[in-house]
Structure 1
Amino acid sequence: MEQVGVSPHAHQAKTNHYYQNEQNAILSDKKDGVFLCILEKSPNLEDKILAHESVLLAGDVLKSLDRVDRTFLQLACFFENPDKEHFDLNSLYKQLDDDWLEWALELITLYFREDTYLIKKPSFSIIKENDSNYLNQSQLAHYLTEQGLKYDRAKVKNYYDRGIVPDADVISAHTKYWRKETVQAYCEKKKGS
């Protein structure tokens, strides 16, 4: 039955507005950790994730995506609800290569390390060339200087040897690396003192 005084277009616009608000509420609950990383790199998946939550639409959504987006959609759904959704590592082997495969493996590591806390004391790290998540001694000095603290490479080494700069998170081939979070915490501590 049509409401008196409300045009079908106005009713449809109201329905669309309600649906959009529901979508935004669902996504705002999900936008954390690894899930957000996937949406930042593939923003076109945002509406597909909502459609995937409907059992009736899930198959159609997956068919509409290319192999890379399909794999990351399935991975994102697993990250959001691992008790209900399953992810087959074989899809990484068959569907991804090169940078996409590396990124998927990094996301899986990040998920288990930071979103689930199942890895309580990480002892394994992947550091790539030009990795913005880790800073070497020179990069640490540069970052601290950019933040208003006057550090050079020699000062970082001296302070490290004296136990003032935090222990390196990773040492590989005698090169020390600090996680970005470690550096930021140290910087805040120094600015506060």
Structure 2
Amino acid sequence: MALDIRRQIPATFERVERGTYGYNAKQVDQFLKRARVAFEDPARTAHPPGSADVRAVTFDPVKGGYDPASVDSALDRLEDAFARRERDELISQQGEEAWLREIGKLSGVLRGRLHRPDGARFRHPAKNSVRGYNTEDVDGLCVELIGYLEQDQPLSVDAVRRAVFRAAKGQDSYEETQVDAFLDRAVELMAAID
């Protein structure tokens, strides 16, 4: 069954109040237009975006822009749609075994880090004065990911996408960029599986 992307992504979004920062509406509209065309007719797009592009896209903050929560929610649905299509294309071109190998490789990379001890899963900031993510918060999400991957415990991809960690410093924190990159890969895996 083909997915009607127009149903997933609204034509326009609510705006935040004039003095409040939201996403640059022009940037959002341009990206979503390009994504719609790429999804509906990939041959018409020179460099069609994929699920990773949707996950990584950012927009400049502007006063009176689009409501970030609404845009993020639409982007999540769009990312899931692209991930499903990418999975289906891989299966149709190379077979289900190829898809399972890709999932297995990515899962193996993630599990290697997930099974490190609490407090040692990621790098700590180089300087004690630099803020990072609270190790207990990140380790807690990692335990949930282990449950999802190995014990079939429920965990939604949106819970990982929207994870928020308290700020911490020194040995009580993990380097934000490394954690973010890892969580991007976890989202990629979960979107491909679900």
Q: Same fold (TM over 0.5)?
A: no
TM-score w.r.t. the length of structure 2 is: 0.30
Which protein, 1 or 2, shows the higher relative CO under an 8 Å CA cutoff with sep ≥ 6?
2
TM-score w.r.t. the length of structure 1 is: 0.30
